A = this chain, B = another copy of it.
Amino acid sequence: MYNFEFQNPVKIIFGKGEISKVGLNIPKGSKILLTYGGGSIFKNGVYDQVKSAIKVFDVIEFGGIEPNPHYETLMKAVEIAKTESITFLLSVGGGSVLDGTKFIAAAVLFTKGDPWHILSRRAPVQGAIPIGAVLTLPATGSEMNSGAVITRVEFQEKLSFMSPLVMPKFSILDPEVIFSLPDRQVANGIVDSFVHVIEQYLTFPVNSPIQDRFAESILKTLIEEGPKVLANRNDYESASNLMWSSTMALNGLIGAGVPQDWATHMIGHELTAYHGIDHARTLAIVLPGVMHIKRNQKKDKILQLGERVWGISEGNDDDRIKLTISKTVEFFESVGIPTKLPEYNVGTETIDSICDRFKKRGYKVGEKADIGPTEIRLILEDRL
């Protein structure tokens, strides 16, 4: 394996009934901005649980943070946080609300320059208001990492930033929040988590058996437990296993000391930026193309994925690679997520736009930084 540094201080509070502990984990005397999304927390009881657990605090609420949280919306919260001298941000929602809250946390204290530069120029975060999270949807892993992805609607840009300063101080993961999720969000969460693992695993071997086996452990668990949750939304044990898989998929551990890809995410972000397609769905579209077009470079790990996760141990290498890709596609489709561009009414024009955009940016993606406009065209044409 490669040399690495790993540090993840997020306190995880996991299990049913644990939302009641939220107040105990917030510093006394904090002035809280409670952030949330479209209002599902009012229907599933999470809002009431949180509010009764933070009664002793001064709380201001900021709702309406969108999926693929909008810079424009978040900057309104930044103004409120400044005006109201907020000292703690409590994110009650899924990965989008939490990503948005991470940006708010950093933007409030980004006093030297335009906060947009945190995203557009990767300007270093200067400080951050402390964040706590009550997660309502297992998917993005944001509850135990330092990253966030923000969309600026007016520019059709979806960009990310990372800073240890925006890692939540704590994240409460009560799997019961899954009981009331619609199929679409559960399926998105399964696929998002699956592809997070793949991006840190499906590269080339560096003799890292712990990281590889942990990655395969998460993939196998998602494949087993994900469909159980879809079939029976009140299966607490499967919901727990899905939720913990999702957090472990992107908390830095399986990616420590190994090459990472992220091409699928970088290309997928553009499909969301142009067409508003759900993040996980863009990954389900793009990943099979990346696997197919980079099948030679990724050969050893695709064969390992096939054998250890999908149980494919017969046939020549080409056959096994093809079968591994089709098993992966079948899994995405089995949870109800289409994997071809036309199923989302996306055609060649968008491919042209995305390739142009990568040409202008001038950098390449993938574990060998060798996926540029030419390869992206091949990958997306494979998905027509």
Contact = CB atoms under 8 A, between A and B. Distances in A.
Contacts of A11: 5-7
Contact of A241 (B2, B12, B207, B218): B207
Contact of A15 (B4, B13, B214, B253): B4
Interface string A1-41: 11111111111111111100000000000000000000000
Copies assembled: 2
Interface stretch (A118-126, A220-228, A259-267): A220-228
A117 to B, nearest CB: 27
Given A209-B224, A220-B213, A248-B210, A5 B13 contact: yes
A84 B14 CA distance: 43
A203 interface: no
Interface in A278-334: none
A226 B8 CA distance: 27
A53 to B, nearest CB: 16
A208 interface: yes
A240 interface: yes
Interface residues of A, number: 40
B4 A7 contact: no
Given A14-B257, A207-B237, A244-B1, A217 B221 contact: no
A10 B7 contact: yes
Given A8-B8, A14-B5, A221 B210 contact: yes
A159 interface: no
A200 interface: no
Nearest to A172: B5
A214 B248 CA distance: 11
A220 B308 CA distance: 14
Interface centre among A14, A16, A18, A210 (most CB of B within 10 A): A210
Contacts of A16: 3
B244 A14 contact: no
A75 interface: no
Contacts of A10: 7
A8 to B, nearest CB: 7
A188 interface: no
Contacts of A7: 9-12
Contacts of A1: 15, 237, 240-241, 244
A225 B241 contact: no
Contacts of A14: 3-6, 256-257
Nearest to A248: B210
A322 B10 CA distance: 42
A245 interface: yes
A209 to B, nearest CB: 5
A40 B9 CA distance: 33
Interface string A187-217: 0000000000000000000011110011011
Contacts of A253: 253
Nearest to A219: B213
A244 B257 contact: yes
A49 to B, nearest CB: 15
Nearest to A16: B3
Contacts of A2: 15
10 contacts: A1-B244, A3-B18, A207-B237, A207-B240, A207-B241, A209-B220, A209-B221, A210-B241, A214-B214, A217-B217
A-B pairs with lowest CB-CB distance, top 8: A3-B15, A213-B217, A9-B9, A7-B11, A6-B12, A207-B237, A209-B221, A4-B14
Given A209-B221, A253-B253, 8 more contacts: A1-B241, A3-B15, A7-B12, A209-B217, A210-B217, A210-B218, A210-B245, A213-B216
